[in-house]
Amino acid sequence: MKATKEKEADLGNGSIGKLLFRLALPAILAQIINVMYNMVDRMYIGHIPEVGPSALTGVGVTMPVIMAISAFAALVSMGGAPRASIMMGKGDNETAEKILGNCTTMLVLMAIVLTAVILLFGQPILLLFGASENTIGYAWAYMQIYGIGTLFVQISLGLNAFINAQGYAKTGMLTVAIGAVCNIILDPIFIFGLNMGVRGAALATILSQAVSFVWVLRFLSSDKSSLRIRRKNLKLSAAIILPSIGLGVSPFIMQFTESIISVCFNTSLLKYGGDIAVGAMTIMTSVMQFSMLPLQGMTQGAQPIISFNYGAGSIDRVKKAFRLLLVACLAYSTLLWAIAMFLPQIFIAIFTGNAELAVYTEWAIRIYMAASLLFGIQIACQQTFIALGNALTSVFLALLRKVILLIPLIFLLPAILPDKVFGVFLAEPVADTIAVTVTSILFLREYRRLSHKKTGMS
C-alpha cells in the first residue's frame, strides 16, 4: 500500500485549480469505477441466455435495498468526513480522530442491524419494492448473498470518505478500484463458468467489497494516514457522533430516498407498463448512476478544500473552489444530457440485446433525463452546503427534490395525463427543474453570507 504523505498546507495554500484537479480526478475515477460494481453485474446478467431480461429486471428490483445500505454508510461518513476536515483546518487533529473512531463503531453497528433485517425480511421487502412472480426468484437469490456482505459494504464505503477527506484521493480511488477489478474478474467466472447465475454475481460483488474492506482498515490503522483509527476513540460519544449524523442526514436522504423513489417508479411502471417498463427503468437507473457518481466524485475532491479552508477562515479560497466545482459539474452534466438525448443507444446496448426492451428504453430515457443538464448546479450547491457544515439547508434541499417534489409527481402526473407511463417518466425532469431553481436561489444567499463573513474577519 502506497500513499503520498500530503501536507495540510497544500489544502490551505496550494493552487485551488491544481488542488481540485489533483483531488477530484482520482475521486471521479473512483466513482466511475464504483458504478462498475452494479453495472458489471447487470451487463453480464442481462446477457444470460434465455433468462437475461427477466434476471436483469429482478436484480434491478434489488437496487432500492442496495441504495439503502449505501445511504446508511453516507449517514455516518458523509457527515463525519467533512467535520473531520474542518477540525483539521482548525489544527485539531485529536477531535478529527475521535470523529473517525466514533464513525467506525457506528458503521459496524448499523451493518449488523441491516444484515439481520435483510436476511429476515428481504423477500417481502422485494415484493413490496416491485418484484413480480416472474422476477422475485432472481431478486431474492441475489439479495440473500449480497446481504451477508453488508459489513464489507458499510466499512469500505463509509471509511473511504475519511481517506478522501484528508486529501489522499489516489488512495481513496484505489480502495474502489481494487474491489471493482476483482468484481470484473469474478463475475464471468461465477455467473457463467460455475453456472451460478445471479447468485454468482452477488457472490462476486461481496467478495470484492471484502477486499476493499481490508484495504481501508489497513490504511487507516497505519502511520501513512494523517488520521488513524485508535481503540480509545471507538467508544461512542454523543458529543462526537450526533453532530456527524446531523450533517450526514442530507446525503442520507439523497441516497435513501433514491431507494424509496425506485420503489415508487417500479410499482407505478409495473402497474401501467408491465415488466418491460420496469426493465427500462433498471437501465435508466444505471445510466443515472453513471451521471451522478462522477459528479459526486467532483464534490468529494472539492470537499476537503472547501471544508479545510472554511475551518481556517480562508473564505476567498472557499469561494474560488466552489466556482471551479460549479463549472466542472455543469459541463459534465451537460455532456451526459447530450448523449442521453441524441445517442441513447450507447447506454442501452451495454445492458441488453433485447430489441423490444432497447426500443422502449430509447423512448423513455429522453423523457427521464430531459433536465439532467441542470443537475450539475444542484449537486455542486447542495454538496457545498454540506462541506460548509450547513446541515439544515442541505437537509431541506435533499427533501425538496426527492420527497416534496418527485414522489408526489410520480403518482400525480399519470393521474392527469392520458399517457400514464409518459407521466411517470416526466416526473423526474419536472422535479429536477424546480429543485435546481430553489437551490440556486438559496445558494446565492449563502454566497453573500460568505462575503460578509470575509468582511467581518478583515
- Structure confidence by residue, pLDDT tens digits, 316-369: 888 888 998 999 899 999 998 998 899 888 878 877 777 888 889 999 999 999
Tell me if 128 is assigned to some domain.
yes
- Structure confidence by residue, pLDDT tens digits, 102-134: 999 999 999 999 999 988 988 888 887 766 677
- The pLDDT of residue 5 is 44
- The pLDDT of residue 404 is 92
Lowest-confidence range among 35-44, 57-66, 75-84? 35-44
Within 10 angstroms of residue 141's Cβ, the number of other Cβ atoms is 21
- The pLDDT of residue 3 is 41
Tell me if 4 is assigned to some domain.
no
For residues 245 and 249, give the distance between their C-alpha atoms in angstroms, rounded to a whole number: 6
Tell me if 432 is assigned to some domain.
yes
Tell me if 94 is assigned to some domain.
yes
For residues 325 and 148, give the distance between their C-alpha atoms in angstroms, rounded to a whole number: 37
Q: For the chain, how big is the Rg over CA atoms in Å? A: 21
- DSSP secondary-structure letter at 16? H
Q: How many domains does the chain have?
A: 1
Place of cell 441504495: 67
Residues 6 or more apart whose Cβ sits within 8 Å of residue 435 = 378, 397, 400, 401, 405
pLDDT above 70 (res 52)? no
Nearest to 185 by CA among 216, 218, 211: 211
The gap between the terminal CA atoms of the chain, to the nearest Å, is 44
Within 10 angstroms of residue 446's Cβ, the number of other Cβ atoms is 15
Tell me if 50 is assigned to some domain.
yes
Tell me if 180 is assigned to some domain.
yes
Count of H-run helices and E-run strands, the chain: 18, 0
Residues 6 or more apart whose Cβ sits within 8 Å of residue 135 = 54, 55, 57, 58, 61, 275, 278
Q: Give the structural domain span for 89.
A: 12-457
Between the CA of residue 140 and those of 115, 116, 119, 126, 199, what are the distances in Å?
Answer: 14, 15, 10, 7, 9
Tell me if 70 is assigned to some domain.
yes
Residues 6 or more apart whose Cβ sits within 8 Å of residue 427 = 406, 409, 410, 412, 413
Work out the mean pLDDT of the chain and round it to a whole number.
82
- Structure confidence by residue, pLDDT tens digits, 290-306: 667 778 778 877 888 88
Mean pLDDT of 272-297: 80
Within 10 angstroms of residue 238's Cβ, the number of other Cβ atoms is 8
Model pTM above 0.85: no
Burial of 4 per CB tally in 10 Å (0-12, 13-18, 19+): exposed
Tell me if 319 is assigned to some domain.
yes
pLDDT above 50 (res 7)? no
Residues 6 or more apart whose Cβ sits within 8 Å of residue 122 = 65, 140, 143, 144, 147
